[in-house]
Amino acid sequence: MSFSSEVKEELVHQIGSARHCQIAELTAFLLATGMNTESHIYLKTENFRLAKKVCMLIYRLFGYSCQVCVRTYKEQKIPTLYEVAVLNKCQCKQIFQACKLLESEELNHLITQKDCCKRAFIRGAFLANGSVNNPEKSYHFEIACESEPFALEIQEMMRFFELDGKIVKRKKYHVVYLKEGSMIVDALNVMEAHRALMNMENIRILKDVRNQTNRKVNCDIANINKTLSAAQKQLEDIRLIERKKGFSELSEGLRQVAELRLQEPELSLKELGELLNPPVSKSGVNHRLRKLSEIAETLQ
């Protein structure tokens, strides 16, 4: 099961205890998945449990029993869809009236006045047309909307919870999306997918530790390569001086460093300084090696 499916599996069991929250979630379903008129409500989804949840909401709110029909389409990429239909005109009118959709097909803000109703609405929209990537691979959360006004409403609700949702046009859809891992965690919290939130946080922590370890290892490797490269250059300079001039004309300090570097090519500057007699600081060793490099340049 994909991470997105796990999130939805948790959310289909999450139902607001208050009637107004249940109406907000049902309204999101109607706006996101419905083919609705005043005489019928017709909802399609790929998720059987979601279809059952819609039936449960309608029964709890209005006392109407709905059936879930299974439709198979051999020539489509999604061969199976689950359909929920309400065909009684009086029942449809009562549902539309409760969801404030009798006079307009756009969201009435009375439906999402309360914070809990906004959470329920976002949850319903995500269940209908949302997805979230496996956080082990990449961070991406989105809700696809068939109309721009609907996308803008969801974006505005996300901003209420300090989620910076962006909108992009993709084919016939307007997609509201989040790309930052921390915001996706917050979005899961808003929708009350707490188990998925904990799973994602665990994955994020492991990824952060792994990334920090990799950065540290890469930094250490870069430092080692830099040290080896510098040591190789120092050896070349010292050998040039030895070949063309010899060490006899060097000062005692430069001669000691030159001979010790030839004997111990892999030691750091600090370790070289500790072996000198008397010991010399790291900056002192570096100063002497720079002097040797200048002498080598004149000999070249």
- Map out the domains of the chain with their CATH numbers: 3-192 (3.10.28.10), 223-299 (no CATH)
Q: Nearest CA to 176 among 199, 202, 142? A: 142
pLDDT score for 146 = 87
Residue 184 predicted with pLDDT over 70: yes
How far, in Å, CA of 212 to CA of 257, rounded?
37
- At 205-244, the pLDDT tens digits run 888 888 888 888 888 788 777 777 877 888 888 888 888 8
Question: Which pLDDT score is estimated for 175?
Answer: 95
User: Which of the pair, 234 or 179, is modelled with greater confidence?
Assistant: 179
Say whether pLDDT at 61 is over 90. Answer: yes
DSSP track, 18-67: SHHHHHHHHHHHHHHHB---SS-EEEEES-HHHHHHHHHHHHHHH-----
Q: What is the arithmetic mean of pLDDT over 168-182?
A: 92
Token pair in block for residue 97:
């009236």
Please indicate whether residue 192 or residue 230 has the higher confidence score (pLDDT).
192
Average pLDDT for the chain: 87
Task: For Cα atoms 105, 111, 117, give the angle at the middle one, nearest 5 degrees.
Answer: 130
User: Tokens 């109309």, residue?
Assistant: 147
Measured in whole angstroms, the distance separating CA 226 from the mean position of its chain's CA atoms is 34
Q: State the distance between the two ends of the chain, measured CA to CA, in whole angstroms.
A: 68
Q: If you average pLDDT over residues 154-161, what whole number do you get?
A: 95
Tell me, what's the pLDDT at 26? 93
Beta-strand (E) ranges in the chain? 41-45, 68-72, 80-86, 130-132, 141-145, 166-170, 173-178
pLDDT digits 0-9 by tens, 28-43: 998 887 666 667 887 8
The pLDDT > 70 percentage for the chain reads 96
For residues 15 and 176, the model is more confident at 176
Whole-prediction pTM: 0.71
Which pLDDT belongs to residue 10? Answer: 93
pLDDT at residue 177 greater than cutoff 70? yes
- DSSP β-ladder status, 173-178 and 166-170: antiparallel
* pLDDT tens-digit series, residues 70-126: 877 666 666 677 888 887 888 888 988 899 988 777 888 999 999 999 999 999 999
Q: Above 70 in pLDDT, residue 247?
A: yes
Residue 298 scores a pLDDT above 90:
no
pLDDT value, residue 260: 83
pLDDT of amino acid 78: 63
Residue 153's pLDDT is: 93
Mean pLDDT of 129-158: 92
Q: How many residues does the chain have?
A: 300
